Chains A and B, each alone.
Chain A
Amino acid sequence: MSTQPAATPEQLIIIGNGMVGHHLVEQLVDNGALERYQVTVFGEERHRAYDRVHLSEYFSGRDADSLALCDADYYDVSGVALRSGESVMEIDRTTHEVITDQGRYPYDRLVLATGSYPFVPPIPGNDREGCLVYRTLDDLDAIRTAAETATNGVVVGGGLLGLEAANALRGLNLDTAVVEFASRLMPMQVDNEGGELLREKIEALGVQVLTERATQRIEDGDASRHRMVFQDDKVLETDLIVFSAGIRPRDQLARDCGLEIGERGGVVVDNQCLTSDPAILAIGEVALWNQSIFGLVAPGYQMAKAALSTLTGGDIHFGGADMSTKLKLLGVDVGSIGDAHGNQNPGARMFRYLDPIKQEYRKLVVSSDGKKLLGAMLVGNNAVYDTLLQYYANGIELPEEPASLILPQSSGAAPTLGPGALPETATICSCHNVTKGDICATIDDGAVDLAGVKSVTKASTGCGGCTALLKSVVDHELEARGVEVDKSICEHFAHTRQGLYDIVRVEGIKTFTDLIEKHGNPDTHRLGCDICKPAVGSILASCFNEPITDAAHIPLQDTNDTFMANMQKNGTYSVVPRVAGGEITPDKLIALGEVAKKYSLYSKVTGGQRIDLFGARLEDLPDIWSELIAAGFETGHAYGKSLRTVKSCVGSTWCRYGVQDSVGMAIQLENRYKGLRAPHKIKFGVSGCTRECAEAQSKDIGIIATENGWNLYVCGNGGMRPRHAELFATDLDDEQLYRTIDRFLMFYVRTADRLQRTSVWRENLDGGLDYLKEVILEDSLGINAELERQMQTVVDTYQCEWSDSISDPEKLKRFRSFVNDERPDPSIIMTSERGQPRPA
């Protein structure tokens, strides 16, 4: 078969570079559509597409780059032209051209992904300076600037976005009030009882809530910049006003060129996302499907998939979307499923549960025969949301006593729907639209574990909300097929690393030999192997912190731990002394240089703000360390699965932007946790302000200074699969910070698999970040005192492994290249490059 010559590509223009527009680009790239289309994207904003769902995190330390949905060079690399900051003025449907402020661009197919704009009520004075909206990063910058000279702020609108905006103002240290026209907050999602509870919880956070207030006009204030005058002539003075009274589709371009528009706005589309002009499609919040606008990202993504299908001749259609949502607003859980108000299904019956002490409210809307769930409403606790959603979405018959689903469980655990009860059509991952049937098919095709299912289906790689559910479905299906899910660490132990850790802790076992005699697999020679020995060595060190070079432990160690240096490819070692926080005196720098010179070591500055000396011969290590120790250095554990470095910026001592002494904190932390052995290496970063020069958000533990203390981020990673650390706790003082990290690290040490970094551990943790917060911050397992005590033991028993070894002739005997010849290994040959030695 001959290859068809490539036809001239068709011109595809996408107007809008928001989340949905970007998702369409990704779909086009991933599905090979760029062979057919030359794609140009117009984005009005100067930033490339970013995560608007997490916009509020912009005020808690994240910046435009970290919110961006792709790398800076994604469009270039993919071959898609992104024209940011270029506004489209007009669509000429007769000539098939898009006209911008900079030129005319021909199109064969056009996609409108212009999204929506915040609605500002027509109130006299709404255009005064300091009257802002909350939609884009530029809006947030404007709010931040205005907040610098303000002491208080008002959000007009008590819906979802309004409460997010209120949280942002609170974060900027403004006295914050929310003004809502309706009689309760979030009138779309909750009823009066739920709204009342929500008000109590939000007022408890110091946010003033005013309902049933219609603003008549805004004028000059006395004490503050503005005065808002309400319908009853009551007034409220404020320096800053943010309008968040709903969104409207940005359909002006479509109106101007004569496309069909809905009565209340929105570009009318069909199941293929085609507008009234078949050359033009519309997706996302600008599109009106079946008289509905979908103001959530998941339906927008589904539209993008349908649009891709339309553009490439496929047959995937958009068929509407479920608007059920669960949110955390100002720290308050709110969940809404289906017909939450029970006003769309005549004859619907309702169950309500209200706990005024714990401040939780749950409501079920069920069919008149009590068999089907039609809707649900949750305030204060979303624990049962996932289960309820499955009942609702899959039409599963309710238990005999539906109320049991929302009543508190005496056991403490939320009632969950077993994976076996879900039908094949049940959607497990809504981001990637993966059903239980898809998962079963993947397993039947040969996937044998969770990782395999994830890589084929992409399930749980979006928001990650379905991680726990996915795992239970996969395990259930594997077991149903007779696959025994073997979690043994290796052939010597029928236990996981976690299991071995618990055994060591509970039985107080202090040596590998004892452990394998008591708990090893009797069918082996019980020597262990290179999997279980280092793992157990690490566990023993985490628990008892005896020197790893002691006779009982030395056979367990990898060569790097054995010789306390990092083996390089030619059998020589690299040496990295600790330089806590990256702070080093001139004398110590000179000492490092002297040692490097004397032993002909290649010198390189590391990413962790230390200096790595390469090419050390085994027999030279003790002498090198004698000199380093004499100069005041101690081991840097660059060889260990343990704390590596705490990287820091220079902080408030020198930097005009710094708000805390980041170097001082970095040194404190590095000295506290140095020597802690863990399932894998651990890196920290401490930044002195939100500019984040220490790149703390790419570390296992990231700390960013605030005016009031420290914000703690956890489970970040650089490397092959970068992962941004997640905000874990805010405004901690020094003591709180140490305690929280103590618990976090010990919990990681206790529960992670071998060689599992915190980022992967976190992604595999059932219950995710919320669970982690419950354990570490709320002590839900009641183990925090124990974790702190265990960490204190490690801290108290620290000793420099190199100091310990060079004073022990028995241990030094190992540092010989040959037991019967003192000369070095002649096959190690060095040459010179750029003035330094390197392996020949």
Chain B
Amino acid sequence: MTATALKKEMDTMAEHTTKTWQKVCTKADLVEFSGVAAWIETAEGPAQVAIFYLPSERLTGKGDPLYAVDHFDPFSKANVIARGIVGDLKGAAVVASPVYKQHFRLEDGQCLEDDSVKLRTWNIEFNGEEVWIEG
């Protein structure tokens, strides 16, 4: 466990906030430049998240090359976002819904085609070989 992650875990435990860092899977479960889905616990109950792993040196200004957004696609109302194609559009990393192809920014979940639609996002980091999400 890295020092940062350990500190975060301790911080969250200490503050007793509703958010908790939780281990979701390992690096080996991820697919480079693509997505997988996982369950996490959140304050509102269990949630399906889509986790994307983009190990590209060109994406800067971010820690680990990981993103976690809603797995639920608000347009098709199906849990499919992790199965979309990832890429970059107008300077931002995005995923395209595999059903109706809308694009969502991975950083903040914003839909590029519809200002009123936004996916939830979560903090996500590597902790050694493990993947942790703050849910």
Q: Identify which of A526, A569, A825 contacts B56 (C-beta below 8 A).
A: A526
Q: How far is the CA of A827 from the CA of B80 in the complex (A)?
A: 11
User: Does A533 make an interface contact (CB < 8 A)?
Assistant: yes
Quick one: given A567-B99, A819-B38, are A827 and B25 in contact (CB under 8 Å)?
A: no
User: Does B54 make an interface contact (CB < 8 A)?
Assistant: yes
Among B10-18, B88-96, B117-125, the stretch that binds chain A is B88-96
Residue among B80, B83, B87, B89 with most chain A CB within 10 A: B87
Say whether chain B's binding surface is mostly helix, strand, loop, or mixed: strand
Q: How far is the CA of A816 from the CA of B24 in the complex (A)?
A: 14
User: Does A716 make an interface contact (CB < 8 A)?
Assistant: no
**Chain B 14-38 interface mask (CB, 8 Å, partner A; 1/0):** 0000000000110001111110111
Please tell me if the beta carbons of A533 and B87 are within 8 angstroms of each other in the complex.
Answer: yes
Q: How far is the CA of A551 from the CA of B31 in the complex (A)?
A: 8
Interfacial chain B residues near A557, Cβ < 8 Å: 85
Interfacial chain A residues near B94, Cβ < 8 Å: 529
A573 CB, nearest partner CB in chain B, Å: 10
Among A108-116, A558-566, A630-638, the stretch that binds chain B is A558-566
Please tell me if the beta carbons of A825 and B87 are within 8 angstroms of each other in the complex.
Answer: no
Please tell me if the beta carbons of A571 and B80 are within 8 angstroms of each other in the complex.
Answer: yes
Interfacial chain A residues near B99, Cβ < 8 Å: 567, 569
Say whether chain A's binding surface is mostly helix, strand, loop, or mixed: loop
**Chain A 542-570 interface mask (CB, 8 Å, partner B; 1/0):** 00000000010011111100110001011
User: Does A491 make an interface contact (CB < 8 A)?
Assistant: yes
Q: How far is the CA of A532 from the CA of B54 in the complex (A)?
A: 17
Quick one: given A817-B37, A818-B48, A820-B24, are A530 and B87 in contact (CB under 8 Å)?
A: yes
Interfacial chain B residues near A524, Cβ < 8 Å: 88, 91
User: Does B78 make an interface contact (CB < 8 A)?
Assistant: yes
Please tell me if the beta carbons of A571 and B78 are within 8 angstroms of each other in the complex.
Answer: yes
B96 nearest CB neighbor, chain A only: A530
Q: Identify which of A551, A567, A569, A816 contacts B32 (C-beta below 8 A).
A: A551
Query: For chain B, which range describes its interface: under 10, 10 to 19, 20 to 34, or 35 or more residues?
Result: 35 or more
Q: How far is the CA of A559 from the CA of B36 in the complex (A)?
A: 12
**Chain A 276-292 interface mask (CB, 8 Å, partner B; 1/0):** 00000000000000000
Q: Identify which of A525, A551, A556 contacts B58 (C-beta below 8 A).
A: A525
Quick one: given A533-B87, A818-B48, are A526 and B58 in contact (CB under 8 Å)?
A: yes
User: Does B59 make an interface contact (CB < 8 A)?
Assistant: yes
Q: How far is the CA of A551 from the CA of B55 in the complex (A)?
A: 14
Please tell me if the beta carbons of B83 and A820 are within 8 angstroms of each other in the complex.
Answer: no
Q: Identify which of B39, B80, B90 contacts A821 (C-beta below 8 A).
A: B39
**Chain A 782-822 interface mask (CB, 8 Å, partner B; 1/0):** 00000000000000000000000000000001101111110
B22 nearest CB neighbor, chain A only: A820
Q: Which residues of chain A in 486-534 are interfacial with respect to chain B, using CB atoms and an 8 Å cutoff?
A: 491-492, 524-530, 532-534
Q: How far is the CA of A562 from the CA of B33 in the complex (A)?
A: 13
Interfacial chain A residues near B101, Cβ < 8 Å: 530
- What count of chain A residues pass the 8 Å CB interface test? 35
Q: How far is the CA of A817 from the CA of B90 in the complex (A)?
A: 31
Interfacial chain B residues near A827, Cβ < 8 Å: 78-79
Please tell me if the beta carbons of A525 and B38 are within 8 angstroms of each other in the complex.
Answer: no
B89 CB, nearest partner CB in chain A, Å: 6
Q: How far is the CA of A567 from the CA of B98 in the complex (A)?
A: 8
**Chain B 72-113 interface mask (CB, 8 Å, partner A; 1/0):** 000010111001111111110110101101010000000000
Q: How far is the CA of A532 from the CA of B87 in the complex (A)?
A: 10
Please tell me if the beta carbons of A525 and B59 are within 8 angstroms of each other in the complex.
Answer: yes
A168 CB, nearest partner CB in chain B, Å: 50
Q: How far is the CA of A551 from the CA of B93 in the complex (A)?
A: 20
Q: How far is the CA of A36 from the CA of B79 in the complex (A)?
A: 55
Quick one: given A524-B88, A529-B87, are A819 and B24 in contact (CB under 8 Å)?
A: yes
B37 nearest CB neighbor, chain A only: A818
A838 CB, nearest partner CB in chain B, Å: 15
Interfacial chain A residues near B29, Cβ < 8 Å: 813, 819-820
Interfacial chain A residues near B93, Cβ < 8 Å: 525, 527
Q: Which 8 A-B pairs have the closest CB atoms?
A: A529-B87, A559-B98, A571-B78, A530-B96, A555-B33, A525-B88, A530-B85, A819-B29
Q: List 8 A-B contacts (CB under 8 A).
A: A527-B54, A528-B87, A555-B31, A555-B86, A558-B98, A567-B80, A819-B30, A820-B29
New A-B pairs, 11, CB < 8 Å, besides A528-B88, A559-B85: A491-B90, A526-B88, A527-B54, A529-B89, A533-B87, A554-B34, A555-B34, A556-B85, A571-B80, A818-B39, A827-B79
